[in-house]
Each structure stands twice: as structure tokens, then as C-alpha cells.
Amino acid sequence: MTNRLTTLTAATALAFSLATGAAFAQEAFSDWDADGNAGINQEEFNTGFGEGGVYDSWDADGDGALTEDEFNAGVYGGYDRDDSGVIEEPEYGDVGDDLGDGGFFDV
């Protein structure tokens, strides 16, 4: 469960950073980390994800729950910065940077 939460938190922060810029994402992470322990727990995640507007923007049907398709579209949209429907260079480079050694998802 902790691993899934960590991955979900990382994916959300990543999408947030791609959509709004790296400096803003770092600030958002700090804002979400209410207790300042350099980690985001479930309560902090729920608060930050909702207050940041990310949840509402990803909840396409507005039913208050993210389906897997809505979540995937939100993360994908974070990489597809030009909204072309295709992740192209240099967008694909961002994916590689985040998944590679030392990247955002290097756990």
C-alpha cells in the first residue's frame, strides 16, 4: 500500500510539475508536506491533491472519483504539453528523464 501511495504521489507531483513548471512543483511539494518531514502522507496527499485543483481537473465526469482512465489521462496530459495527443520529442525526453536512474521515479 505504501509503495502504491508513493507511486501515486510521485505521478501526481510529476504531472503537476510538467503542467506548471518545475519550480512551482517543488513549491507545491513543500506546501503539501504540512509536517515538513520531506514526505507526503495519505492525509497530506488528499488535502494537497484536492486543494491544488488537480483532482477536479482530472475528474472529467465530475463524479468525485477518478477512474483509471481519468487518472491515466491526467498523467499523460502532463507529458503531452502541446495537447497534440502524442508524446513527441522533447516531451518523450521528459519521460525518460523521470524514469531513468536518478529520475523522479527512481526509487
Give the whole-angstrom CA distance, residue 75 versus residue 96. Answer: 14
> Does position 26 have pLDDT exceeding 70, yes or no?
no
What is the DSSP code string of 69-104?
HHHHHHHHHHH-TT-SSS--TTHHHHHHHHHSTTST
pLDDT value of position 60: 92
Range of lowest pLDDT (23-32, 63-72, 89-98): 23-32
- 27 residue type, one letter: E
Rounded (10°) CA dihedral 15, 43, 51, 93 = -10
pLDDT value of position 20: 47
Give the whole-angstrom CA distance, residue 36 versus residue 31. Answer: 9
pLDDT in tens, 38-85: 777 878 878 887 777 788 888 899 988 888 898 888 888 888 888 899
Whole-model pTM: value is 0.54
